[in-house]
Structure 1
């Protein structure tokens, strides 16, 4: 219930928070450029951005007659930085935060679970928070494609 109340309050105060990727498709060894759009005027300092590449897989363990699964989560890459200062659009009453993040060359692209990969996935997630306002929070799955 507490999560629902925080989410409702967050939406009421800041409106919708969306991610616009200006670099698409994203690939390793490239700059990721984007804009975080806040649908209401937000009196916030630059946002804290955390981009993570996380590998997840499920291991099946048999103990006697019982079988259970263990989910493993390995952080392959992690980067945190502040966004650019906010830009306010007085006509639309919205706020935008732009950013540029350098992706390393030695990280894998996004991989969803399939028959070939089994339960092994690689996901890229961008988490957006405010150091001054703990109620502000957004998270986005960011597709990173293999270099062709």
Structure 2
């Protein structure tokens, strides 16, 4: 659920005057922006608010906008969250892992899917050997 920017500012004891002063904007300009929907804000306003809160603009935007999560997969194109896989086996391996964890509440980003794709398509042989040594058959 998105948080109201006014509540975020209050929680952090930050006033509109402080945002304006720190960014070089006019108090009336900041006030006017805060009364409009987030989608109408200029980058300058978003940057000013993020800077005053000590956050990156993208992080602040995620907090104040509702973007419902949707897992996007395409078996024909071998994509998860629009990330293309080279092989069907790596796609299926990552898709299974992602879907299982989404059921547990994880909302993977494309960046996280790219990391999983890299691990699936370019496995670390040294790490795989160590895992096999630790968890492999123990018929000894």
Shorter chain as denominator, the TM-score bin is under 0.3
Normalization by structure 1: what TM-score?
0.19
Normalization by structure 2: what TM-score?
0.20
Between Structure 1 and Structure 2, which shows a larger proportion of strand residues? 1
Mark the structure with the bigger radius of gyration: 2
